[in-house]
Amino acid sequence: MDKKRVIFFGTDTLQGIGAEWPRIAIDCKYVPKELLPANWEAFMKKSEFNFEVIQKEYKRICDLYGFAKDLPEVVEFRKGKNWPMLVENNFKDTVEVLVPKLNGQSLFTLSFNLISGIVYEDFDLHDLEDTAVILALPDAKNDIMYRAVPGQDNLENITIWNYALTISRIRQYVEDRGGNFYYFHLEDWPKELYDDRLNPLLHHIKESLLFENSLYSYVPGDILKRKYNGFHLDGLAHNNIKDIFIQVMKKNQHLNLFK
């Protein structure tokens, strides 16, 4: 039986950056002693999970020892630990999951790289025939945009329009290549996005929405605190999000995409 193909588009969260922790601290000899679980988790608690403090100390330690997230050993250890690939493990007999590396933390950058063909791994995204493409929308605050209005001193906020237009462009890219487009929100979004008075493209995009609430709204707060490097969710968090994503997709009758 031919497997279904599902492609996830999103920021480096979907790539699994950070998912190597904390397990890599046990299995990789290059990890600084300060980042061993007992030491580092004690530091994180002492900082009261202040991610700005955690990020700064993590960077200091990594710079001191020359430890980096793109070391070959780290990259290899990370493979398969991101939650979309963990979803594939649950349906490995029926689906192939791909997560292209598009880079960027904003929806605009993801769209630009996709449409421009800037993909940082060996992926062919020109033929999407019979492929489900799922866009995990990043936080809209990374896409705030203004434009000058002739004759006015104040700039006009066009974030909602531009955000909706970018979703629409990605959908068009997918469908022009034979794919089926879907999307969901990872985090909260501006309520204006779903106000048809402010978003004239609402009718064009909402029919592709997989579920109403953001994925992270279903995730317990203590799981979302599991950012070992202060930026990215760790392996345990990815495993929990995988389970939650499957539950939410089942509740909304979309598991047929994977089986």
Angle at 81 between CA 10 and CA 209, to 5 degrees: 35
Q: Indicate whether 97 belongs to any domain.
A: yes
Instruction: With CA atoms as reference, report the closest residue to 100 among 208, 215, 14.
Output: 14
* pLDDT of 194 strictly over 80: yes
pLDDT value, residue 147: 86
Amino acid at 23: R
Sign of CA dihedral 88, 89, 93, 99: positive
Taking the alpha carbons at both ends of the chain, their separation in whole angstroms is 11
Q: pLDDT digits over 18-71, tens only?
A: 999 999 988 888 899 999 999 999 999 999 999 999 999 999 999 999 998 888
Q: Indicate whether 11 belongs to any domain.
A: yes
Contacts of 172 (CB under 8 A, 6+ apart): none
Q: pLDDT digits over 96-118, tens only?
A: 999 998 877 899 999 999 988 88
Write out the DSSP string of 185-206: ESS---GGGG-TTT-TTHHHHG
pLDDT value, residue 1: 59
For residue 130, give both structure tokens: 């019979």
Q: Indicate whether 59 belongs to any domain.
A: no
Number of domains in the chain: 1
Q: Indicate whether 12 belongs to any domain.
A: yes
* pLDDT of 216 strictly over 90: yes
Structural domain including 144 reads: 4-17+81-251
Q: Indicate whether 256 belongs to any domain.
A: no
Q: Indicate whether 208 belongs to any domain.
A: yes
Q: Indicate whether 61 belongs to any domain.
A: no
* pLDDT of 201 strictly over 80: yes
Instruction: With CA atoms as reference, report the closest residue to 180 among 217, 121, 130.
Output: 130
CATH number of the domain bearing residue 105: 3.40.50.1110
